[in-house]
Amino acid sequence: MRTIAVLNQKGGVGKTTTVVNTAAALAAAGSRVVVIDFDPQAHLTIHLGLEPQMVQFGSYKVLIQSAEFEKQILLMRPNLWLLPANINLVGAESELVSVVGRETILREALQLSQDKFDYCLIDCAPSLGLLTLNALAAADDVLIPLQPHFLALRGFGKLLQTVELVNKRINPNLKVKWILLCMFDSRASLPSEVRADIEQFLDKAQGTSCPWAQAQVLPVYIRRNIKLAEAPSYGKTIFEYEQNCHGAEDYRKVAQLIHAQFQPPTPPDTSQPVTISEIQDQPPAPSIPSPQPDSQVPSQLSTQSADTDENQEQLSTISTPSQQPDSQVLPHPSTQPAGADENQAQPSISSIPLPKPDSQESPEPENQLDDTDENETQPPIEIKSIPQSDSETQSSELTQTKPEQPDSN
């Protein structure tokens, strides 16, 4: 739980309005928020629609009778709880004058509820008495609503001195976090001058050990809006009374800025990059056979028309050696095993002129690709028709005997 004390000893600067509407915006966003009314005037209680005369419990019992904090709070809106106050809170300071550790009573009461709420906003009284000291002792951060006027700026310096004193003696974790300018009128020059003076003062404190070294003026200021003054008389927040007015837009942005600073950081990407070795270990993708060039057309014709191993050996001298369906590469005629019969009967395919088997200069596939333009225009093989005299002659010409295969061993 993050405890924020909304503090300014000057009255009428927008402390109660800031607590109610900022808490309502955080609760609407899904956060579990509890607000504490530490002002005997009970303006926060009235703003949320509860009459102080009807309150039989609240912050007075927590301070005086050490009542359990969670039994004294009321659920006022979804995700929004209230520790109410009444006029009895005025006598709390005199009753606690002889109590040891009276400045840390509220902090001890909140320790048991740290895990049950996301935010705790304390509406402090416009004074620097015992009630304000209890709020500062229990808080982690301080939000100072400030009206951009000269007298408010003078009181701002006194307020910082009080925070510094509490930081040294009671709560070393206390820090001034935000300055919120309320009732800001952009048409006048004075608000802009006051804002520039505050920013210059905070810039000088950066890097020091003072409690306001990390303070910043919120980039959103609360514009002067009559709807913010009308909403408390109906016991409603500004979002319930007029959700589209300037006041509702401004306080919604304030809640978003505060909530963004307490969000956990985004977890880094834990996915590991793929290494080069992992890519090499993957099986290769199936390759798509590339289309055969035009110079290999005779090889396709030879593989379709050849019926015997001898025809494939003869045709391989003309075309580029290509991989056969049985994944065996045809040997070159010059690499034929010794002992093979060179006088074997050749097939009588007179339509295809073939070079002599005993020729020493057999054409290579590379030489065919380097021919002149005239050879490229001529087909590599001349195909002529075979005169057909009768069926007997054709069958006799195509009849051949399968030669004996040489011993592979």
Is 76 a member of any domain? yes
pLDDT-derived band at 4 (thresholds 50, 70, 90) equals very high
pLDDT value of residue 149 = 86
CATH of the domain at 66: 3.40.50.300
Give the highest mean pLDDT range of 108-122, 273-287, 309-323, 389-403: 108-122
Q: What is the pLDDT of residues 326-350, one digit of tens each?
A: 444 444 444 444 444 444 444 444 4
Is 139 a member of any domain? yes
Q: Is 143 exposed, middle or buried (0-12, 13-18, 19+ CB in 10 A)?
A: buried
Is 318 a member of any domain? no
Neighbours of 231 (CB within 10 A): 24
Beta bridge partners of residue 123, listed in sequence order: 6, 37
Averaged pLDDT, 255-265: 82
pLDDT-derived band at 364 (thresholds 50, 70, 90) equals very low
pLDDT value of residue 187 = 86
pLDDT value of residue 299 = 44
pLDDT-derived band at 126 (thresholds 50, 70, 90) equals confident
Is 163 a member of any domain? yes
Averaged pLDDT, 275-288: 51
**Total-model pTM:** 0.64
Return the ∠ at Cα 169 (arms to 166 and 170), rounded to 5°: 65
What's the rounded Cα separation, in Å, for the pair 294 and 222? 81
pLDDT value of residue 405 = 54
pLDDT value of residue 156 = 87
What's the rounded Cα separation, in Å, for the pair 260 and 265? 10
Is 394 a member of any domain? no
Q: What is the pLDDT of residues 48-58, one digit of tens each?
A: 999 988 888 88
pLDDT value of residue 283 = 55
pLDDT value of residue 39 = 92
pLDDT above 50: residue 352: no
Averaged pLDDT, 124-128: 87
Is 21 a member of any domain? yes
Is 326 a member of any domain? no
Please give the tally of structural domains in the chain. 1
Averaged pLDDT, 171-190: 91
Q: Which tokens sit at 223? A: 């514009």
Domain with 148, as residue range(s), is 2-261
Q: What is the pLDDT of residues 193-226, one digit of tens each?
A: 989 999 999 999 988 889 999 999 999 999 998 9
pLDDT value of residue 92 = 87
pLDDT value of residue 50 = 92
pLDDT-derived band at 373 (thresholds 50, 70, 90) equals very low
Averaged pLDDT, 155-169: 89
pLDDT value of residue 7 = 92
Averaged pLDDT, 62-66: 89
pLDDT-derived band at 91 (thresholds 50, 70, 90) equals confident
Is 338 a member of any domain? no
pLDDT value of residue 264 = 58
